[in-house]
Amino acid sequence: MSTVVLLTLTGLGLAALYFLIASGLSLVFGLAGVLNFAHGLFLSIGAYVTWSVVGSWGLLPAILLGVAAAAATGALVELVLIRPLYTRHTEQVLVTVGLSLAGVALLQSVWGADARVFPRPAWASEVIGIAGAQVPADRFLLIGAAVVVLLGLLAFLRYTRYGLIIRAGVENRAMVSALGIDVRNAFTLVFAIGGALAGLAGILGGMYFSAISPGQGASLLIFAFIVVVIGGLGSVAGAAGAAVAVGLLQQFVNYYGTAGAGDVSVVVLLAAVLLLRPTGLAGKVATA
């Protein structure tokens, strides 16, 4: 029983990370039609900026600065690189691919290729006993952050004017433009939001793995892609559901099966979902 509780909470912690990355990806894809390979870069920037100022500023301001830096990077990438290629989706994907290669190399040259030990608040290193299981507290930090983000994002999308424009844009972008609303500002906004969430994911991921490395974003990104496709492109709630399914499946199968079987089973789940339901669990058609 205690093993199941521990595995569940660890799986949910992983799911929280996936969700933070995938929700931004999903919004960016749903609205702007850009499959963003540079999302892993936003994640790493958030983590590294936090890491470099945490010594002098303290943890909370460092986290805020990291998130802000990642959001600024996202907005900047949209303004400078994505916007000139509007409607040319393949070129947009190619540019983000190039950016992900160059960006990781740039991070490596600034901070070195080796993993860095990432600081975490003292209480996150403690262990909490639940139903006989000894659960590290950082799991709750991740889950809590993801839940707050999920609720905040849903409220933002539902109750604000920009949220309305984004939802409408995901549904039918041409119609929103036809109504006289400049969707491109919303593009910049979702890139900034996606960047901020990815940066947060990078920081929390640094605390979870207690280390950061330039390539970390890329390996998390692939599972985030899987989550986005399973959840349905453009759907935040779908991404949340899919993240939980993927995180739990991965943890449980990795524990009870042989090493690596969990990762394989996630891909099998992806193939099954796409074959049975090409649009994902919720969201618009996954073609084009």
Partner 1 sequence: MTTQPSVPPAAPAAILPEAPASGSVPSRATPSPSAAGQLRRRLTPLLLLVIAASLPWSTLDIPGLFDGPLNSPGTLQLLALCLVFGGLALGYDLLFGRSGLLSFGHALYIAAGAYGVDILVSHYGWPLWRAALVTVLAAALLALLLGSVALRTSGIAFSMVTLAFAQVGHIVISRDPGGLTGGEEGLPLASAGLPGFLVGVSNTVNLYWLALAFLTVVVLVVHTVDRSPLGRTLTGLRDDERRIAVLGLSPYRLKLLVFVLAGGLAGLGGVTYALVVGGASPHVASSELTLSLIVMAVLGGAGTRWGAVFGGILYAYLDQRLARLGGTLPGPFAEPLFVLGTLFILAVYFVPGGLTGLGARLEPLRRALRPRRD
Structure tokens at 250: 């991965």
- Select from 227, 225, 224, 221 the least CA-distant residue to 281: 227
97 binds partner 1 (CB under 8 A): yes
- Select from 186, 148, 133 the least CA-distant residue to 164: 186
Task: Report d(CA 121, CA 192) in Å as an integer.
Answer: 26
The stretch near partner 1 (CB under 8 A) out of 1-9, 50-58, 145-153, 225-233 is 225-233
The stretch near partner 1 (CB under 8 A) out of 8-16, 95-103, 156-164, 238-246 is 95-103
82 binds partner 1 (CB under 8 A): no
Least distance from partner 1 to the Cβ atom of residue 280, Å:
9
79 binds partner 1 (CB under 8 A): no
Name which position in 58, 61, 98, 257 contacts partner 1 (CB under 8 A).
98
257 binds partner 1 (CB under 8 A): no
Q: How many other CB atoms are found less than 10 A from the CB of residue 280? A: 26
Q: For tokens 């993993």, what's the residue?
A: 115
Least distance from partner 1 to the Cβ atom of residue 149, Å:
23
DSSP, residue by residue, 180-241: T--HHHHHHHHHHHHHHHHHHHHHHHHHHHSEE-TTHHHHHHHHHHHHHHHH-TT-HHHHHH
Q: How far is CA 90 from CA 30, 33, 97, 112, 252, in A?
A: 15, 10, 11, 32, 37
Least distance from partner 1 to the Cβ atom of residue 146, Å:
22
84 binds partner 1 (CB under 8 A): yes
Least distance from partner 1 to the Cβ atom of residue 255, Å:
15
The stretch near partner 1 (CB under 8 A) out of 47-55, 131-139, 154-162, 217-225 is 217-225
263 binds partner 1 (CB under 8 A): yes
Least distance from partner 1 to the Cβ atom of residue 48, Å:
14
Residue 258 DSSP SS3: coil
Q: Cβ contacts of residue 170 below 8 Å, gap of 6+? A: 27, 30, 31, 234, 284
102 binds partner 1 (CB under 8 A): yes
Determine contact, residues 18/246, Cβ cutoff 8 Å. yes
**Residues belonging to the chain:** 288
155 binds partner 1 (CB under 8 A): no
52 binds partner 1 (CB under 8 A): no
Name which position in 3, 4, 61, 109 contacts partner 1 (CB under 8 A).
109
Within 22-41, which residues bind partner 1 (CB under 8 A)?
29, 35, 37
Positions that interact with partner 1 (CB under 8 A): 29, 35, 37, 81, 84-85, 90-91, 93-95, 97-106, 108-110, 218, 222, 225-226, 228-229, 233, 259-260, 263-264, 266-267, 270-271, 274-275, 278, 286-288
